[in-house]
Structure 1
Amino acid sequence: MANQHDSAYRQLFSHPEMVADLIAPCPPGMEFLQAQQRYLLLDVMKLLKADPDFSNVVVALLCLRQQQTPQQMMKLIVSISRWMRGKPSIQLQRSMLRWARSSLPEGLGKTTMYTKGEAKMKVDPPDFDTFVELISGGWKMAGMQEILQRVLERRFGALPEQYLKQMEHANEEAFNLWADRVAEELSLEAIFADGPED
């Protein structure tokens, strides 16, 4: 049985990784329009066996979407919190937080009741405050960006790509600076002058 399982996985993961290899070829002369993206299949079960403590943040994020025991959920939260403390780039942090937030069980609070079969367990995960703070911080930044962008677009019209990118990578201090400059009725260039580039 194990051999059948292993060979099925080997067969599954031996497919082409280029999107172009999975679709009909382009007519001659139109090859430049052919998709160039690659995709990656991850064997989550294999990753879990290799990393049962969720020390790899990618494994931890993938596992958030699966049913976890209370002990596993605590390990997941600790792993993601530890990774966040390493101060990854703001854009990567926002993406990870968006994934984490969409993956968490509905209504996850500081103390959570998990049902495993007939037994109910009360769990207060370590580092949960840090985790929640990071998630809410990520959403706060997204909200600040949305509000500032809306105000600027009403005043100046569609924003150039360079300013949108600056806002995507900005921290709270930058948003506060830009909001002050908007209140001073400065030009668009003056609002973003000396702003963060990344």
Structure 2
Amino acid sequence: VRILTYVGLLYQDLIHTKQIERGRLPPVLPIVLYNGESRWGAAQELAALVEPGPAALEIYQPQARYLLIDEGCYRASDLPLCNLVAALFRLENSRSREEIDTVLGALVEWLRSPEQRSLSRAFALWIGRIILPKLSAEPVTGIDDLQEMRTMLADRIQEWGEEFKREGMQEGMREGMREGMREGMQAGEAQLLLRQLRRRFGELPDWVQSRLRQAPSEQLECWGERLLEVDTLDALFEGE
């Protein structure tokens, strides 16, 4: 249902901003990226959630389906180190020091050029703030160089032993990825709703932007659905 709502909001924005060519909407590929411990089991098309009715009504029912990427379904052999997505999945699913060092070595080579500095720094900070605290109970700050972080990580792991305990490593990395994905999804949803509000009501007061930044994804989704039913900002946020 959320996928259907997001696609509808996207189309609405394209129409309002006059980005439609030849009077037709573009095709959309919805993707769900999932990294939970258990395997994905939710319905992958809206029709599976709709109660069956008279056959004559079937052609009038909304259609929505998404492409599922369930990280836990991939083995290391399924993820050759050929791109950043594969590297990210390999890092999350790594079970030993050697596996992590292999992935970090590839990342260091890929992100060596100056134009990749920002992405390299993001990986280094993620490792220092998420992976290491889960392993040593103390975060590493002040290091934003991927090669330096790789060296420090190797030293730390050597001190702790030849192998990570699988359960601790898996839980730490998965929790870090879940936290990062939650924050990324919340920021994206807030930005989309902010654009919709500006198109509908014009320039927004500071308190609106502040509320959007602080609201959880569930609240943003609720406001996005109510946006089509209200005529004023006060009515949208009334009772919240």
**Shorter-chain TM-score: which interval?**
0.3 to 0.5
TM-score, structure 2 as length reference: 0.34
Report which of the two has the higher share of helix. Answer: 2
TM-score, structure 1 as length reference: 0.40
